[in-house]
Amino acid sequence: MEAQREKRNLPACRVFFKELLKSNFFVNAGGRELLVTPSCARCNRLFGVGEIKEVEKRGNITKIKISDTTATFNIYTDKVIQLDSEVFLAFIGNLHVRANKGRGFLITVEEAGQVEEDVRNTWIIKTAKRTMERIELLRNFTLRNNDLSNGGELPGNALMETMLHYAIDDDKLNTLADMAINAVKGVWHYYSKTTKELVLDALKTADKGRMERMKLTNELEKGGLAEEWIEEVIEELMAEGRCYEPEEGLLKVV
């Protein structure tokens, strides 16, 4: 019972599906078997968000094909979940190592629920950030400076074993980084278009087509948009000549 409680309390890792599908290195830690990914995240539970591509019933088991934009893979559940295709699903899943020769794994759902697209987009941004942090640790790793306790990454000796297993080099790290960057670019296209429309609509409906920049940012943040996205889009709109600052801190639509 205590072992099961400890397993439930382990933090769920954030890994892009494409990286997860390329992972095949397993280590034993405290009696638990963990999957270690090429960027050296260690997982026995996974937090993911993606778009449902297909749902297939197999008796009491439901197979869900889900995509996070980097790749599509399957998760399984025996729980009753209201599911439709082309909707977004957030889930926490347990990783089970297969006993076969290939030492593969499958993910079974612990908790799940439908979410909006912006939740998936936020997951991509945060997962990209964690991925890039792990890549940076790998780039800076040396045997004399191997304190990698932050964020649940592996200690130095296990890290070295992982790097050897995946034959990690600069090219492979660059490929992992490109995966994260391209995922965020896709999100930025969505946010850029959406946020531009929201900024211009807010200015057009404001008194005399103008609004304090801080007030505009606060209003859009209440709608779930990140401050950094809003500021970036405002700068783009000003560069495009679609709005301007008649005085410092005040925005006006053209």
Q: Could you give the percent of the chain with pLDDT greater than 70?
A: 82
**Residue (of 24, 26, 14) closest to 50 by Cα position:** 14
- How does residue 5 score in pLDDT terms, banded at 50, 70 and 90? very low
**20-33 average pLDDT score:** 88
Output the pLDDT for position 2: 39
**Residue (of 25, 75, 67, 71) closest to 46 by Cα position:** 75
At 113, list the tokens: 């629920």
At 239, list the tokens: 């560069």
Q: Does residue 43 sit in the same domain as residue 156?
A: yes
Give the whole-angstrom CA distance, residue 25 versus residue 59.
31
Give the whole-angstrom CA distance, residue 49 versus residue 31.
28
Q: How far is CA 203 from CA 20, 225, 230, 237, in A?
A: 43, 16, 13, 12
β-sheet with 42-43: strand ranges across:
25-29, 32-36, 42-43
| pLDDT tens per residue, range 173-211 | 999 999 999 998 887 766 666 778 888 888 888 888 889
Q: Is residue 135, in this structure, part of any structural domain at all?
A: no
**Domain count across the chain:** 2
Q: Could you give the percent of the chain with pLDDT greater than 90?
A: 43
Q: Does residue 155 sit in the same domain as residue 203?
A: no
| pLDDT tens per residue, range 240-250 | 999 999 999 99
Contact in structure between 245 and 211 (CB atoms under 8 Å): no
Mean pLDDT across the chain: 83
Q: How far is CA 68 from CA 43, 130, 180, 226, in A?
A: 18, 15, 11, 20
Q: Is residue 236, in this structure, part of any structural domain at all?
A: yes
pTM: 0.70
| pLDDT higher at 50 or 86 | 50
Range of the domain at 64: 2-117+145-168
Q: Does residue 103 sit in the same domain as residue 19?
A: yes
| pLDDT tens per residue, range 113-161 | 999 888 898 899 899 999 999 998 888 874 344 444 344 455 557 778 8
Q: Does residue 31 sit in the same domain as residue 69?
A: yes
Q: Is residue 156, in this structure, part of any structural domain at all?
A: yes
Q: Is residue 122, in this structure, part of any structural domain at all?
A: no
| pLDDT higher at 38 or 30 | 38
Q: Does residue 42 sit in the same domain as residue 155?
A: yes
Confidence check: pLDDT of 69 > 70: yes
